[in-house]
Structure 1
Amino acid sequence: MWRLAVAFLLFGTLQAVDRQNFKVCDQSGFCKRHRSIVEPTGYEVIKDSIKLNETGLHAKIKNKDNTLKLSIVVLKDSTVRVLIDEDEGALRPRYQPLDALVNREPEQQKLKKSKEEENATKLLTTDGNRVVLIHKPFRIDFYVKDKIVNSINSKGTLKFEQFKKKVLLTDKEKGFWEETFKEIKDTKPYGSSSVGVDIAFVGAKFVFGIPEHAEGYQLRDTRTYEPYRLYNLDVFEYETNSPMALYGSIPYLVGVNQKRSVGALWLNAAETWVEIEPTTADKGALAKEVLDAETKPRNVPQQNARFISESGVIDIFITLGPQPNDIFRQLAALTGVTPIPPEFALGYHQSRWNYKDQKDVKEVHEGFVKNDIPLDVLWLDIEHTDKKAYFTFDKDNFAKPEEMISDLAENNRKLVTIVDPHIKKDGKYHIYKEAKKNKLFVKDVNGDNYEGNCWPGDSMYVDYTNPKARKWWAEQFAFDKYKGTDKNVHIWNDMNEPSVFSGPEITMHKDAKHHGGFEHRDVHNVYGFYQHSATFDGLKARSNNEIRPFVLSRSFFAGSQRTAAVWTGDNKADWNHLRYSIPMLLSLSTAGLPFVGADVGGFFGDPEEELLVRWYQAGAFQPFFRGHSHQDTKRREPWLFNSTTTDAIRQAIKTRYAFLPYWYTLFYEHAKSGKPVMRPFWLEFIEDESSWDEDRQWMVGSGLLVKPVQEPSAKEVSIYLPGKRQVWYDWHTHKARPSPGAVQIPADLNTIALFHRGGTIIPKTSEVKLTTKENREQPITLYIAVNQKGDFANGTIYLDDGESYSYENGDFAYWGFTFKKEHDYLHTITSTNLDKKGKLDSDVYIDKIVIRGAKFYPRNAHIFLDDFIPEDLEFEFNRDNFLMEIENPGAYVTREFKIDIHS
């Protein structure tokens, strides 16, 4: 019977998402109750409960129904934590997803001063921020340099449903003790346990974040619209321009203005809804706090966000910035960064559901080589397994996996296999037998093993919230257990929301039971997080912690960046999905997850050739670059189209490989600073307010601006050049353009708008090879874009072996390059070792230097190397576009040099 249901489900998805399978707020009892709050809920601080300590305070708050405990803790680096929980004597503990944090107890900071007054308690931090607890009505205000920037409960919407002993149902409590959706009952033995409160971003004209939604980058007003939903779900062929929940959830928001940026992390793993209300500061309780001699509250924008979660506690981290760089560093300190990925993972990945056998894999592999198209990874979807039993290979179609993997490895390529969380219910399947024997499965409401339907049919689900289960899962990747694999096999965790075809909203029943007695409703959004984290640990352990793993996950939560890349799921081959992939990836990057991408060409449907080319051009400048498609689509290997299309795809992929030295450096720098690799404009150009909500263009690092063509049959593409007192150079023509302003360029099939920011230096591979391993050994061209003043530019490059952890022991190089005007007749280019802990001396050399915006007339140039004896350099200079090219300077990337240019 389940097969028939699945067939109908999949048939429906080929048409469009069936919205009736998924709730709206009005169908969710707790969301509806919270959203109906009109008057303040009346909480106030119990004054004699306040207990100050050296890093914050503890207190109790109450209204006519509840008494709750409150703690405010000041953390290192301008971050404050606010925790609200049930008072002592609660019927049961509430779940906190603390493993999402780098440290379950983040490092605290001593207060500079604290003071308890009649109606307020004030905390002054050592970094100059102020936290004010208003006693009645309860509110928490946050100040940076005496300016209020954020406030919790300023609208008085705090609601906290405490666990109760069951009583008779009444109309007033409808949905409190049980709910039914599409004939599936959800029991609540302790009643509804929802929590919610409002968070005001004072001064913020825009708010960004809370992925994942197929929406614009700027979060919209939800007052007459559905709230944004955070509930990890398997949504086939999802709609664009919709606040529907998708595959992952990161409950992190950023509010931005020109002087300061503020973030808020809502650490809760339950189903969550988020309302957004744009307003001004004179419209609420904060008007008196905003008023000063220069600014009237009505002129101060304010964004009120309201988080509503089905269970858990209120655990909020406010990152106070004040600048964009600061909030990314502060978020990284809480939830972590992506460690330097293996270099192959930044290359091009080719996937399909499914390559049917080893002969098919071999032919696809050879096709890339024969057609001179770079490739680093081939992927195998669910059909490669023995009847959907993961950690196995089909005995007929993939009878000799070692030979297939060896063939790829000999050509410097990798294999990725899929391993999903649903375990085939089969007494002969060793994974099922072990998990059942060791009691590692999720339980149903009655305490039996939870059973649902997924690709194998009847399936059980590993309880990854159980540390014992995670350890066992990690062990399954050992080479003697996952037979046929070696270090060249990496892993794809799909369907890990978790997807349950027979469950409510195609996921697990909320009253299922997990480790520690928690219900699935408590842990839902971290289920996939725990799976991919255990997978990463297993891949790392199988190599004795020597080889960097690559794991792709569809489900994610805050902190997922530490162990996984993610993609935007089952998108569609249409222009709208191409366009919306950009704000989706920007939102993920904003929320701390940098290694992100979208299936090139769209998963569902057959893209027209022009769309496919444009998607390749976009994907070439996005962090994770993979072509992937549904089994019912036509084959899409790049050489299967007309020669014009194949040539354009080849050029896009080769462009990606040419910029790999820059990409790899950016991922290293992310690991140090938390700054994303794919960046929104406001991160780099906070002074240019008109650019902040731009979501059809993006920055790659600080130096490259990208805008792919996103319309069919476009004759030209319009690009906005952000920033004030900036200069931009068209990458292809070298022509300089001032900013801010818009430019138009012609759009033939090979066009991708690419601009080089003045003041930056970008390393680029001079001759592109077919794999990242071969590519990394090639000479480098340095592209120098001189700033508007004509006197400066700088950039960096990072190198290591590309695959191991030896960089942790000094086997790396991190060097900087600087172009500088010394005086009217002398300009210099110098290299500097930026981290002396790095001992790598590479043979990679610089075979060309291109200077854009060289508004001087060079007479001669020479280079100083180790012996400090100048050697003459040959160069060409184009007076029409101020372009200077130095050929064969003889400099190495990891050795000091100085070039003098005399004019």
Structure 2
Amino acid sequence: MWRIAIAFLLFGSLCAVDRQNFKTCQQSGFCKRHREISKPTGYEVISDSIKVNDTGLTALIKNKETTLTISIVSLKDSTVRVVIDENEGALRKRYQPLDALTEKEPAQTKFKKSKLEEGSTKLLTGDGNRIVLQHNPFRVDFYVKDKIVSSINSKETLHFEAFKKKVLLTDREKGFWEETFKDIKDTKPHGSSSVGVDIAFVGAKNLFGIPEHAEGYSLRDTRTYEPYRLYNLDVFEYELNSPMALYGSIPYLVGVHQKRSVGALWLNAAETWVDVESTTADKGNLAKEVLDANTKPREVPQSNARFYSESGLIDVFITLGPQPNDIFRQLAALTGVTPLPPAFALGYHQSRWNYKNQKDVKEVHEGFVKNDIPLDVLWLDIEHTDQKAYFTFDKTEFANPEDMIKDLAEKNRKLVTIVDPHIKKDAKYYIYKEAKKNKYLVKDAKGENYEGNCWPGDSTYIDFLNPKARQWWSEQFSFEKYKQTTNDVHIWNDMNEPSVFNGPEITMHKDAKHHDGFEHRDVHNVYGFFQHSATFNGLKARSENKVRPFVLSRSFFAGSQRTAAVWTGDNKADWGHLKQSIPMLLSLSTAGLPFVGADVGGFFGNPEEDLLVRWYQAGAFQPFFRGHSHQDTKRREPWLFADNTTDAIRNAIKTRYAFFPYWYTLFYEHSKTGKPVMRPFWLEFVEDESSWDEDRQWMVGSGLLVKPVLEADSKELSIYLPGKRQVWYDWETHKARPSPGAVQIPVGLNTIGLYHRGGTIIPKLSEVQLTTKDNHEKPIVLYIAVNQKGDHANGTIYLDDGESYAYENGDYAYWGFTFKKEHDYLHTITNKNLDKKGKFDSDVFIEKIVIRGAKFYPRNAHIFLDDFSPEDLEFEFNRDNFIMEIANPGAFVTREFRIDIHS
């Protein structure tokens, strides 16, 4: 049976996704019921039930059928939490995915003032925001500086299906007690318990977020279209420009406005659909509130999002900004950040399904060395195991894995092995035996161990909702359990949606049972989250918390960034999938998950050489950089192509490594601020409204604009330079361009649109070695891009050992560079320690300084070091391009200096 399932899956890969395997909203009972609501649902607040304390409000709300409880809580840093649940006496507990939060109970802050009025209750937060609970009809409005920015239930769509005792079915309740899709019945033993409500974003023309979808970056209006679906699924060769569900779900979106941006986190792990509506404020129930702010409502854009989930409760966090930087910090406070990754993880990764044996791995490894192509990691897919039993090696093809790992490690390279959540049902397999004995397996609706088909054939599934099962899973990565591995082996968690080949929609039955009595329908979207989190904890523990782990996961949820990197799954080797990778990665970055990438070249199919080169060039400027392909594709190691193709790929990979100091610094800064590494334009240029929905270009940090070639046979590349009163410098030619505006550059094989933003300083390696370890503490070049006024630029650099947790105890360095115009005849470059807690003293020195936009004529330059005695510096100055280059300034990155440039 399982062989048939696998054959079917592989056959499908030759075509495209079979859309018939996955539900539409009309085929989902609860989605259809919610979407058909066209009249107000009639909820109002029971006024005498309102209770207000220092940090929160509770009340009862009701309509003709249902009474619910609501709580509104003021959290730190302009964040508000709204929870709507069944009233006391509910027949069953509802699941909340609180583990997605950094704290299960986020820190609260006191209200400044509260006031109960006729028809409304007003709450003033400690940071000056206002929350208004409208009594009839029920609504929660949010104000920033007396302007309404968001509202819950302004369209009066709140619908909450309370648990009830089973009765005879009625037409209205069709699908309430059971549902069938493609001959698979969902028994719904507890009936339907769906929830839904609308959230308005006043002033927002664009909504961004709710990954993962192969869609444009700006969310489309779905009124005459299928809603966006959040339901983690194994979808190979997915459709482009589609709102259908993919591998992961983060139910978070942002509404952007020039002066105030608002985010909303819908904390629910069940299947969720999201409708989006673009409108203006005069067309809804908020027109009066907008008019009260002395603005014509019809001139105020408004975007509405309507969430509906199959089970769970309504738990919404509204982050009130007001600026984009604030939004990312507020989300990070709720769901966390990516901890500083090990340096090797930011290098290039080479993978394939599958490298056949140790000889194959050795030849590939040596091929990178022989062809002078940087590489940090080689990957092993499922075929490296002993008959698809994870935590093992094939006894014939990988008979001596220690030797293979040692061979890689001697060249400063790592190995990643795959460990999926489905467990081979084999009485001789120790993982299966232990999991079964300890009752760590998911149960089916009848209470027996749940079984499904996956790569090993008959498979069982670990119940990661069980904390004891997670701890046990973590322990399997110890060197005593995962034999023949070392700290140089890291982990890939795939198929963890979970994928079940013979299950409904190729996943687990919704009536399967998990720890604490919850059904799979309640917890589906956090299943993979719990697996990769346990994996991360296991890798960290095996080294006694000394070595930073690297974990890649296909499935994800809010908070996944704390323990995993993510890639966009089973894409295809065509230009459309290359283009689509950019908005997908921007959406993930927007939703708080920064360590993201797409399989370079496409997983399915054989890319033409031009496409492969362009994908490497794009991937080199995306956070996670891996080449990976299906077992039926031709081999793709970079040296297997025409010489000019290999040269272009080598150049792209080396370019990635050259910018390593910048990448590493950005990941450190993300861990402190929550700002993503790969950034949409609106994060940096919120004043430039026309650039907000740009999804063919992006920023790396604040200083680097990237526009890859995305079309076959391109002769010219058009690049939009965003922002107002900005200046941009072509990275290769140094030529300055003002913004906003577009430039066109001719396209050659090595062309990628790369512009340096005026006002920023970027550190870059002066020379590239073959691994990040080889590049550690090598000299750098400082690229200074002077701002439009010609008077300022700044930048930072972060250093540590690249692999341990010693930085948590002060073994790091974080320094800042500043270029400044002191007066008409003097410009200075200084280096200062930005964090005196950092004690890392590096020998990294600055080999050269390049100043772009030096609109002055330098007569001499000298440097002040520790003894404050000036030393003359040699320099060159190009009057045509206003480029000044200072060679060998004799300055070290982690020691103070000042360079004076006299003109």
Q: What TM-score, normalized by structure 2, do the two folds share?
A: 1.00
Q: Distance in 1 between matches of 2:168 and 2:409?
A: 65
Are residues 648 and 100 of structure 1, via their aligned partners in 2, closer, same or farther at CA, if it must alter by over 3 Å? Answer: same
What is aligned with 2:42? 42
What is aligned with 2:415? 415
Tell me the SS of whatever aligns to 2:618. Answer: helix
What is aligned with 1:87? 87
Asked if structure 1 preserves the Cα contact closer than 8 Å seen for 2:830 and 2:896, the reply is yes
What is aligned with 1:691? 691
Q: Distance in 2 between matches of 1:716 and 1:359?
A: 43
What is aligned with 1:466? 466
What is aligned with 1:251? 251
1:541 aligns with 2:545: no
Asked if structure 1 preserves the Cα contact closer than 8 Å seen for 2:782 and 2:846, the reply is yes
1:334 aligns with 2:371: no
Deviations 1:523-578 (A, max 9, x none): 00000000000000000000000000000000000000000000000000000000
Tell me the SS of whatever aligns to 1:460. Answer: strand
TM-superposed CA distance for 1:655, in Å, is 0.1
Are residues 852 and 188 of structure 1, via their aligned partners in 2, closer, same or farther at CA, if it must alter by over 3 Å? Answer: same
What is aligned with 1:676? 676
Aligned partner of 1:119: which letter?
G
Asked if structure 1 preserves the Cα contact closer than 8 Å seen for 2:345 and 2:550, the reply is yes
Aligned partner of 2:866: which letter?
D
Q: Distance in 2 between matches of 1:346 and 1:273?
A: 34
What is aligned with 2:206? 206
What is aligned with 1:119? 119
Q: Distance in 1 between matches of 2:866 and 2:478?
A: 48
What is aligned with 1:663? 663
What is aligned with 2:723? 723
TM-superposed CA distance for 1:2, in Å, is 2.1
Q: Distance in 2 between matches of 1:703 and 1:874?
A: 27
Q: Distance in 1 between matches of 2:438 and 2:569?
A: 33
Tell me the SS of whatever aligns to 2:479. Answer: coil
What is aligned with 1:439? 439
Matches within 5 A, 1:174-573: 174-292=174-292, 294-573=294-573
Deviations 1:334-360 (A, max 9, x none): 000000000000000000000000000
Q: Distance in 1 between matches of 2:612 and 2:829?
A: 41
Asked if structure 2 preserves the Cα contact closer than 8 Å seen for 1:597 and 1:619, the reply is yes
TM-superposed CA distance for 1:881, in Å, is 0.3
Tell me the SS of whatever aligns to 1:352. Answer: coil
Q: Distance in 2 between matches of 1:284 and 1:766?
A: 58
Tell me the SS of whatever aligns to 1:332. Answer: helix
Tell me the SS of whatever aligns to 1:38. Answer: coil
Deviations 1:205-251 (A, max 9, x none): 10000000000000000000000000000001001100010000000
Q: Distance in 1 between matches of 2:339 and 2:513?
A: 33
Deviations 1:807-864 (A, max 9, x none): 0000000000000000000000000000000001100100100000000000000000
Q: Distance in 1 between matches of 2:17 and 2:502?
A: 17
The two structures, once aligned, show a CA RMSD in angstroms of 0.5
TM-superposed CA distance for 1:777, in Å, is 2.1
Tell me the SS of whatever aligns to 2:398. Answer: coil
Aligned partner of 2:549: which letter?
P
Q: Distance in 2 between matches of 1:157 and 1:190?
A: 24
Runs of 4+ displaced beyond 4 Å: none
Tell me the SS of whatever aligns to 1:671. Answer: helix
What is aligned with 1:874? 874
Aligned partner of 1:146: which letter?
D
Q: Distance in 1 between matches of 2:889 and 2:733?
A: 23
Tell me the SS of whatever aligns to 1:866. Answer: coil
Aligned partner of 1:328: which letter?
F
TM-superposed CA distance for 1:292, in Å, is 4.2
Q: Distance in 2 between matches of 1:172 and 1:108?
A: 42
Deviations 1:163-215 (A, max 9, x none): 11111122221100000000000011121000000000000010000000000
Asked if structure 1 preserves the Cα contact closer than 8 Å seen for 2:277 and 2:304, the reply is yes
Tell me the SS of whatever aligns to 2:326. Answer: helix
Deviations 1:719-773 (A, max 9, x none): 0000000000000000000000000001111000000000000000000000001
1:157 aligns with 2:157: yes
Are residues 293 and 470 of structure 1, via their aligned partners in 2, closer, same or farther at CA, if it must alter by over 3 Å? Answer: closer
TM-superposed CA distance for 1:293, in Å, is 6.8
Asked if structure 2 preserves the Cα contact closer than 8 Å seen for 1:14 and 1:237, the reply is no
Asked if structure 2 preserves the Cα contact closer than 8 Å seen for 1:503 and 1:509, the reply is yes
What is aligned with 2:797? 797
Asked if structure 1 preserves the Cα contact closer than 8 Å seen for 2:378 and 2:415, the reply is yes
Q: Distance in 2 between matches of 1:277 and 1:14?
A: 36
Tell me the SS of whatever aligns to 2:185. Answer: strand
Q: Distance in 2 between matches of 1:381 and 1:822?
A: 58
What is aligned with 1:703? 703
Aligned partner of 2:310: which letter?
E
Aligned partner of 1:95: which letter?
Y
Q: Distance in 2 between matches of 1:56 and 1:646?
A: 62
Aligned partner of 1:523: which letter?
V
1:54 aligns with 2:54: yes
Q: Distance in 2 between matches of 1:87 and 1:190?
A: 17
Tell me the SS of whatever aligns to 1:73. Answer: strand
Aligned partner of 1:23: which letter?
K
Tell me the SS of whatever aligns to 2:875. Answer: strand
What is aligned with 1:104? 104
Deviations 1:443-501 (A, max 9, x none): 00000000000000000000001000000000000001100100000000000000000
Asked if structure 2 preserves the Cα contact closer than 8 Å seen for 1:381 and 1:417, the reply is yes
TM-superposed CA distance for 1:13, in Å, is 2.3
TM-superposed CA distance for 1:294, in Å, is 4.5
Q: Where do 5+ consecutive residues of structure 2 fail to align?
A: none
What is aligned with 1:613? 613
Asked if structure 1 preserves the Cα contact closer than 8 Å seen for 2:5 and 2:453, the reply is no
Tell me the SS of whatever aligns to 1:285. Answer: coil
TM-superposed CA distance for 1:118, in Å, is 1.1
1:2 aligns with 2:6: no
TM-superposed CA distance for 1:9, in Å, is 2.3
Asked if structure 1 preserves the Cα contact closer than 8 Å seen for 2:762 and 2:796, the reply is yes
Asked if structure 2 preserves the Cα contact closer than 8 Å seen for 1:661 and 1:776, the reply is no
Tell me the SS of whatever aligns to 1:427. Answer: coil
TM-superposed CA distance for 1:518, in Å, is 0.2
Aligned partner of 2:760: which letter?
T
